[in-house]
Structure 1
Amino acid sequence: MRVALLTTTQHGHLNPYVPVVNALRTAGSEVVLLLLSADGGTLDEQRRRALGKAQVHGIGQVEMAPWSGDPAKIGPMLESSPVADQTADALRATAPDFVLVDSLPVTASAMVGAQASGVPYGMIWANLGGVCPSEHRRGRWPYDEQVGDYLTRHGVLWSTRTHSARSPILNLMPTIPALVGDDAVTDDGVQLVGLPGAAGTRGDEVAFAGLDRLDPDRPVVYVSFGTIFYRRPDLLRTVIIGAAATGAQVVAAVGDLAEELALPDEVLTAPYLPQREVLERADVFITHGGYNSVAESIRAATPMLVIPLAVDQPVQAHFVGSAGFGTALEPAGVTEQAVADAVTDLLDPARDYRARLRAAQPECGDSAVRAAELVIGTAETLQRKGEQ
């Protein structure tokens, strides 16, 4: 069995698929990773090692800036992109039995290429957009309409209820009922397969000796806005100072902003932190709402303050709040006092945030292993039908 997985070089998309690639290989499949270079990004050596013997092929370039510009330019950009043809050519050359496509707007041209290639394909998501009712994507509607028009013109299915693409064969959503609840749109073939972030190598692990300095008798607040959205020094400093005002110990991932932030000495910072390890020690996580971060926080049973900054993050903020796993603040409403009040609320055991998170643990599962099982099972079923 030969399976291709198509995604971008963005850490928030590549990281959760490293375990999927390895689960497919463990199950006996030969795996080809097809990578779109986002803003010139590359596959670094650490992640390349984590992928083991999986083949890796670059298939083209995508740019992120247009997705925060004029929405009317998105449709023409997708139509003129060479990525559709490049994807179709790569699939015909590598000849997988099945291809799993990371479903997000920036990969829309690749979806068209998969459709044109004739290779059976499924969709998988690295955020909750694929099951989120469209009313919670209001800020994205002009972009979504452009993507939907483009995809449907080229024969790719489009869900108007969620403003996201669909495969006619297999649609995998790495999440759990306790997070998305009855609000999720799953009655059109989407299967929930458990949370990302199960134990195992992800490819970006680092060491951080500062954890040994934490006082076990004081609460810990962990702050991270990810590897892309952290570059908001005023917002980041306000959040950190607000969290520290509660008397909690603050651990923050600050990229290259440490000097510019000029934080008090008692705040522990690093450019990049071993997030899963820190979350196991944290009592509250202040996050931008990237889905990997949300999923790992749920696994650690750490309540969240979500400050959604862009793209799919308001979707995750909606579900975190509705599940009772945390609360949210809009960036415009962030002040030191607002952060301090939110952290105090999240630390209050009477509010039951951690109890709800602990009750969700039996659902978490291993989305990579489950996704591999479903992909292989689907591909084998298609092969048997083709032989009849």
Structure 2
Amino acid sequence: MRVALLTTTQHGHLNPYVPVVNALHAAGSEVALLLLSADGGALDEQRRQALGKAQVHGVGQVEMAPWSGDPARIGPMLRSSPVADQTAEAIRAAEPDFVLVDSLPVTASAMVGAHVSGVPYGMIWANLGGVCPAEHRRGRWPYDEQVGAYLTGHGVGWSTRTHSARSPILNLMPTIPALVGADAVTDDGVQLVGLPGAAGARGDEVAFAGLDRLDPERPVVYVSFGTIFYRRPDLLRTVILGAAATGAQVIAAVGDLAAELALPDDVLTAPYLPQREVLERADVFVTHGGYNSVAESVRAATPMLVIPLAVDQPIQAHFVGSAGFGTALQPADVTGQAVAAAVADLLDPARDYRARLRAAQPECGDSAARTAELVVGTVETLQRQGAR
């Protein structure tokens, strides 16, 4: 059995899919990883080693900036993109029995390529957009309408209830009922498969000696806006100082902004941090709401202050708030005082944030292993049907 997995080079997409690749290998499949280079990104050697036996193929280029620009440009960009043809060609060359496509607007052309390749395909998500009711995507509607028209025009399924693509065969959402609740749209063929972020090498591991310097008498607040959206020095500094004003020990991932931020000496910073390890020590996580960060925080039972900055992050902020796993603060409302008040609320044991997160732990599971199980079962079913 041979499975192709198509995604982008972004950390937020490689992180959850490296374990999926390895789980498919463990289930007896050969795996081809088809990579779209996002903004010129490439696969580094550490990540390549974490992928084990997978064959890695570059497919084409996608750009992130247009998805925060003029929505009217999205349709023409998708229609003129070579990515659809490049994807179909790459899939046919890899000769898989099944393709699992990372479903997000930036991969829309690749979805068309998977559809026209003639190979059976399924969808998987690295955010909660695939189950989020459309009314919570109002800020993205102009983009969604362009994507929906483009996909349906090429025969790809489209859910108007969630403004997201659908496979006719398999749709996998790496999340749990405790996070998305009854508000989630799951009655149109989407299966929940558990949270990403389980233990295991992903190729992004780094050391951080600062963990040994933590004061056990002080609560710990971890601040990170991810690897793409962190470049907002004024906002990041306000958040860090607001969290520090509570008396908490602050650890922050700041990319290359450390000198520019000019933070107090007792704020521990690094360009990039071992997030899963830090979250195990943290009492509060201040995050931009990237889905991997949210999922890893749920796994660590760490309450969140979500400050959604772009794209799918307001969706995650909505679900975190409705689940009672944290609270949200809009970027325009961020002040040192507002951050300090939100962090103090999250640190208050009487507010039960951590208790709700701990109650969700039995649901977390291993989304990579469950994904591999469902993909293998789907391929076996298709093969049996084809043999009749």
State the shift of 1:168 in Å. 0.3
What's the CA shift for 1:310? Answer: 0.2
Alignment match, 1:178:
178
* TM-score normalised per structure 1: 1.00
Match of 1:309 in 2: 309
CA distance in 2 between counterparts of 1:153 and 1:269 reads 48
Q: Distance in 2 between matches of 1:238 and 1:336?
A: 5
SS class of match (2:286)? strand
Q: CA deviation at 1:203?
A: 1.2
Q: Which moved more, 1:65-74 or 1:337-346?
A: 65-74
Provide Cα deviations, 1:176-220, integer angstroms capped at 9, x if missing partner.
Answer: 000000000000000000000011111101000010010112100
1:37 is aligned to 37
Say which SS state the counterpart of residue 264 (structure 2) adopts: coil
Unaligned runs of 5+ in 2: none
Residue type of the partner of 1:186?
T
Determine the C-alpha separation between the residues in 1 that align with 2:67 and 2:323: 29
Question: What's the counterpart of residue 345 of structure 1?
Answer: 345
Question: In the alignment, what sits opposite 1:212?
Answer: 212
Any idea what the Cα deviations from partners look like across 1:107-155, whole Å, max 9, x if unmatched?
0001001110110000000000000001111110000000000000000
1:196 aligns with 2:184: no
Structure 1 counterpart of 2:27: 27
Q: Partner of 1:147 in structure 2?
A: 147
For 2:237, the equivalent position in structure 1 comes to: 237
Q: Deviation at 1:50?
A: 0.4
- Aligned partner of 1:9: which letter? T
Question: Which residue is 1:387 aligned to?
Answer: 387
Secondary structure of the equivalent of 2:142?
helix
Q: Secondary structure at the match of 1:7?
A: strand
Q: Which residue of 2 aligns with 1:377?
A: 377
Structure-2 separation of matches of 1:335 and 1:70: 29
Bigger shift: residues 359-368 or 73-82: 73-82
Query: What are the within-5 Å matches in structure 2 for residues 63-142 of structure 1?
Result: 63-142=63-142
| Separation in structure 2 between the aligned mates of residue 321 and residue 203 of structure 1, nearest angstrom | 31
Aligned to 1:285: 285
Distance 1:173 1:101 in 2: 12
Query: 1:274: which partner in 2?
Result: 274
In structure 2, the partner of 1:367 is 367
Please give the alpha-carbon distance, in whole angstroms, between the structure 2 residues aligned to 1:201 and 1:310.
28
CA distance in 2, matches of 1:99, 1:215: 48
> Can you list the C-alpha shifts for 1:311-358, whole angstroms capped at 9, x where unaligned?
000000000000000000000000000000000000000000000000
Q: Name the residue aligned to 1:334.
A: 334
**Separation in 1 of the partners of 2:161 and 2:26?**
36
- Which whole-Å deviations, capped at 9, do the CAs of 1:206-255 have from their partners, x for residues lacking one? 00001001011210000000000000000000000000000000000000
Distance of 2:312 and 2:75 partners within structure 1 = 19
Code of the residue aligned with 2:253 in structure 1: it is A
Gaps of 5+ in 1: none
How far apart, in 2, do the equivalents of 1:109 and 1:372 lie? 25
> How far off is 1:171 after superposition?
0.2
SS at match of 2:360: helix
TM-score, normalised by the number of residues in structure 2: 1.00
CA distance in 1, matches of 2:226, 2:22: 24
CA distance in 1, matches of 2:260, 2:278: 23
**CA–CA distance in structure 1, aligned partners of residues 93 and 289 of structure 2:** 37
1:68 Cα offset (Å): 1.2
Q: How many residues align?
A: 388
Structure 1 consecutive aligned stretches of length 4 or more whose deviation exceeds 3 Å: none
Distance 1:129 1:70 in 2: 21
CA apart distance, 1:37:
0.5
Question: Aligned partners of 2:69 and 2:338: how far apart in 1?
Answer: 30
Instruction: State the alpha-carbon separation in 2 of the partners of residues 73 and 371 from structure 1.
Output: 35
